[in-house]
Amino acid sequence: MGKIQALSYFVVQSTDLSAWQKFGEQMLGTQVLPAPGGGLYLKLDERAYRIAVVAGSEDRYLASGWELPDQAAFDSAVAAIHAAGIETTPADAATLAARQLRGLASFVDPSGNRHELAWGSTAEITPFKSPLGALKFKTGKFGVGHTVLPALNFDATLKFFRDVLGFGLSDIFNFQPGPDAPVMRIYFMHAASGRHHSLALAEMPSASGCVHVMLEVEDRAEIARAEVRREQQGVKLMATLGQHENDKMTSFYMMTPGNFALEYGWGGIEVDPASWQTTQTQQVSIWGHDFSVGFR
Q: How far is the CB of 146 from Fe ion (least distance, A)?
A: 6
Closest alpha carbon to 46 in 141, 170, 158, 160: 141
Neighbour order of strands in the sheet with 60-67: 31-34, 40-43, 51-55, 6-14, 60-67, 114-121, 101-108, 89-90
Q: How far is the CB of 44 from Fe ion (least distance, A)?
A: 16
Q: How far is the CB of 73 from Fe ion (least distance, A)?
A: 27
- d(CA 280, CA 170) in angstroms, rounded, equals 9
Nearer to Fe ion by Cβ, of 82 and 230: the residue is 230
Nearer to Fe ion by Cβ, of 97 and 293: the residue is 293
Question: In the window 214-233, what residues touch Fe ion (CB under 5 A)?
Answer: 214
Nearer to Fe ion by Cβ, of 116 and 263: the residue is 263
Q: How far is the CB of 202 from Fe ion (least distance, A)?
A: 10
Nearer to Fe ion by Cβ, of 58 and 290: the residue is 290
Nearer to Fe ion by Cβ, of 116 and 216: the residue is 216
Q: How far is the CB of 147 from Fe ion (least distance, A)?
A: 9
Q: How far is the CB of 24 from Fe ion (least distance, A)?
A: 19
Q: Does 238 bind Fe ion (CB under 5 A)?
A: no
User: What are residue 240's phi and psi, to 5 degrees?
Assistant: -70, 170
- d(CA 245, CA 254) in angstroms, rounded, equals 19
Contact by Cβ (8 Å): 66, 4: yes
Beta strand residue intervals within 124-271, DSSP E: 146-150, 168-175, 184-190, 199-202, 212-217, 237-244, 250-255, 261-266
Neighbour order of strands in the sheet with 146-150: 279-281, 168-175, 184-190, 199-202, 146-150, 212-217, 261-266, 250-255, 237-244, 285-288
Q: Does 144 bind Fe ion (CB under 5 A)?
A: no
**Binding piece for Fe ion, criterion CB under 5 A, among 85-93, 129-137, 151-159, 259-267:** 259-267
- d(CA 42, CA 149) in angstroms, rounded, equals 21
- d(CA 93, CA 98) in angstroms, rounded, equals 9
Nearer to Fe ion by Cβ, of 88 and 279: the residue is 279
Torsion of CA 27, 209, 123, 145, to 10 degrees: 60
**Binding piece for Fe ion, criterion CB under 5 A, among 48-56, 168-176, 201-209, 260-268:** 260-268
**Binders of Fe ion: how many residues, by CB under 5 A?**
2
b (16+ CB within 10 A) / e for 78-87: bebbeeeeee
Q: Does 263 bind Fe ion (CB under 5 A)?
A: yes
Nearer to Fe ion by Cβ, of 106 and 170: the residue is 170
Q: How far is the CB of 91 from Fe ion (least distance, A)?
A: 28
Nearer to Fe ion by Cβ, of 48 and 186: the residue is 186
**Binding piece for Fe ion, criterion CB under 5 A, among 154-162, 185-193, 257-265, 287-295:** 257-265
**Binding piece for Fe ion, criterion CB under 5 A, among 49-57, 125-133, 170-178, 262-270:** 262-270
Q: Which residues bind Fe ion (CB under 5 A)?
A: 214, 263
